[in-house]
Amino acid sequence: MLAGHITAPGRIELIEVEEPRLPERTSHASLPGEIIFQPELACLCGSDIPFFEHSDEIPPPEIGHSLHEMIGRVVAANGSRFRPGERVLAVPVNQCGLFERFLVSEERAIPLDPRVPDEQAVLAQPLGTVIYALRKLPEIIDRVVAVVGQGPIGHLFNAALCNLGAREVVAIDRLASRVELSRATGATAVVCTDQQCPVEAVGRLTDERMADIVVEAVGHGDEAFNLCAELCGHAGRILYFGVPPVTIDGLRWRDVFFKNLTVHTSVNPDFGCDFPLAMRWIAEKRVNVAPLVTHRFPLSQIQTAFETFRDRREMTLKVLVDFPCGRSG
């Protein structure tokens, strides 16, 4: 079977590897079982790019890096939750999911909702991470929230915040092409930082009170922590969602200190709550994730898929990857 192998910075190939084997079930029935999962459709995430580029801030990529947002079918199971043939959303450990089939705990999978089209069901994974992050905040109803970064995650924050009753959702990004979509995903105001100062814009919108909550949805090499601190009003909250670099040079922590800000972080959602709730929101049309899908490639074009996503070509947001066994593969 095929697997992804990042052989150099910015270079990924498909290689042949051995099929996974399902272990025999032990006598400890209380322990979770495992499944062999066969991806049918996946999508790229910003956290896959550091592996693709051989970032010094993460361990060297392994075979199978990097893919973790995916839906597919259970091929074999030794537990009680799933049977062969069932379609599920599954999340591999450490983002090592670029295989035609792989072994994963049954606790890292949830059933698909038959009401949801595949290209939307796969987005329940990133939406679930957003829901998990927002559960850390004590109040959202009637709050002014600024979302810094209008990539796929930023747009999902717009939709979720709108759904949860925020008074204002201010979408902020330097790319005009990205904020053009923001109102369609739930933003009440948009700011392109190449055209206006975001601090001045949020100040005008709030009569200089600034935002109650600021979401950092950028991360990695383009993190925007200092901007988030500027956008926050006194005693506000920063929800730092974007994966940060190991260190942030020039961090203005005194701004955080004297404003009495609270900083929340978020990683590793709850499989029992967050992903199922995300799937339900999509199925019940509480949020519309369809506009986020902009590109789709077969697995055989994985190099082009990664380059398109990394380089933000042609107003790229979510890049889907069809596996050979999938309905469109």
How does pLDDT run across 139-161, given as a tens digit for each residue?
999 999 999 999 999 999 999 99
How many CB atoms are located within 10 Å of the residue 45 CB? 22
Average of per-residue pLDDT values in the chain: 95
Confidence of residue 27 (pLDDT cuts 50, 70, 90): low
> What residue has token string 């050979």?
324
Amino acid at 244: P
Q: What are phi and psi of 155, to 5 degrees?
A: -65, -35
Structure-block tokens of residue 65: 């890096």
For 234-252, the pLDDT digits (tens) are 999 999 999 888 888 888 9
Q: Note if the pTM is more than 0.85.
A: yes
b/e 176-208 (16+ beta carbons within 10 angstroms → b): eebbebbeebbbbbbbbbeeeebbebbbebbee
Residues 6+ apart with CB under 8 A from 118: 40, 41, 71, 326, 327
How many CB atoms are located within 10 Å of the residue 59 CB? 9
Long-range contacts, 92-96 (Cβ 8 Å, 24+): 92/37, 92/64, 92/67, 92/68, 94/62, 95/47, 95/48, 95/51, 95/65, 95/66, 95/67, 95/68, 96/62, 96/63, 96/64, 96/65, 96/66
How many CB atoms are located within 10 Å of the residue 285 CB? 9
* DSSP symbol at 85: T
Pairing of strands 318-322, 87-90: unpaired
Mean pLDDT of all residues in 25-36: 81
The C-alpha atoms of residue 322 and residue 299 are separated, in whole angstroms, by 6
- Residue of 39, 68, 179, 58 lying closest to 126 (CA atoms): 68
Say yes or no to pLDDT of 276 above 60. yes
